[in-house]
């Protein structure tokens, strides 16, 4: 059996992150959490995530800044942006800066899970080169 996909959830809404973590772990993913961009960058030092689920709108370092720093330090990590309705243009800009894709919050669990799987497949292909 292949190793579990490692996912880092980054969102300042702690209850949302905790609920999402439990639901993704039930599906066999290995999940770590961060509540800010700064925490995400620290977490990636000790938790080599395959996929990062990154909220666009956070206090302090926002999602766009966090994305560019993640991609600079960990170019193989795939990032999925999570956004509310007003921030779709920001998520699209994120894709232009290297994000794998974006999803609207609150995302359907199946959509989120399959998007994570797709991002992981892309990372595996890149790692194999």
pLDDT in the model for residue 58: 92
Domains of the chain, with CATH numbers?
9-30+37-128 (3.40.50.2300)
N-term to C-term CA, the chain: 22
- The DSSP output letter for 85 is G
pLDDT in the model for residue 118: 97
pLDDT in the model for residue 129: 77
| Interatomic CA distance for residues 81 and 110, integer angstroms | 16
Query: For 60, phi and psi rounded to 5 degrees?
Result: 75, -130
User: pLDDT exceeding 70 applies to what percent of the chain?
Assistant: 97
Query: To 5 degrees, how large is the angle CA 125–CA 101–CA 42?
Result: 80
> What burial letters (b/e) apply to 8-21, b meaning 16+ CB within 10 Å?
bbbbbeeeebeebb
Task: Tell me: cis bond preceding 39? Omega within 30 of 0 counts.
Answer: no
Contact 80, 91 (CB under 8 A): no
Q: 33-43: per-residue pLDDT in tens?
A: 999 999 999 99
pLDDT confidence tier of residue 1, bands split at 50, 70 and 90: very low
Q: 42-98: per-residue pLDDT in tens?
A: 999 999 999 999 999 899 999 999 999 999 999 999 999 998 776 778 878 898 999
pLDDT in the model for residue 2: 57
Task: Please give the torsion angle defined by the CA atoms of residues 117, 20, 39 and 53, in that order, rounded to the nearest 10 degrees.
Answer: 30
pLDDT in the model for residue 121: 96
Mean pLDDT across 99-121: 94
């Amino acid at each position: 059996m292949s190793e579990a996909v490692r996912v880092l959830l980054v969102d300042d809404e702690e209850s949302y992150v905790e609920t999402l973590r439990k639901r993704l772990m039930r599906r066999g993913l290995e999940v770590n959490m961060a509540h800010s961009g700064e925490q995400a960058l620290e977490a990636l030092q000790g938790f080599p995530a395959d996929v990062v689920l990154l909220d666009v709108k956070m206090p302090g370092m926002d999602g766009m800044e966090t994305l560019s720093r993640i991609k600079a330090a960990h170019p193989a990590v795939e990032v999925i942006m999570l956004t509310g309705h007003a921030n779709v243009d920001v998520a699209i800009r994120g894709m232009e800066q290297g994000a794998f894709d974006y999803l609207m919050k609150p995302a359907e669990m199946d959509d989120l899970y399959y998007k994570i799987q797709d991002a992981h497949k892309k990372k595996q292909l890149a790692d194999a080169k």
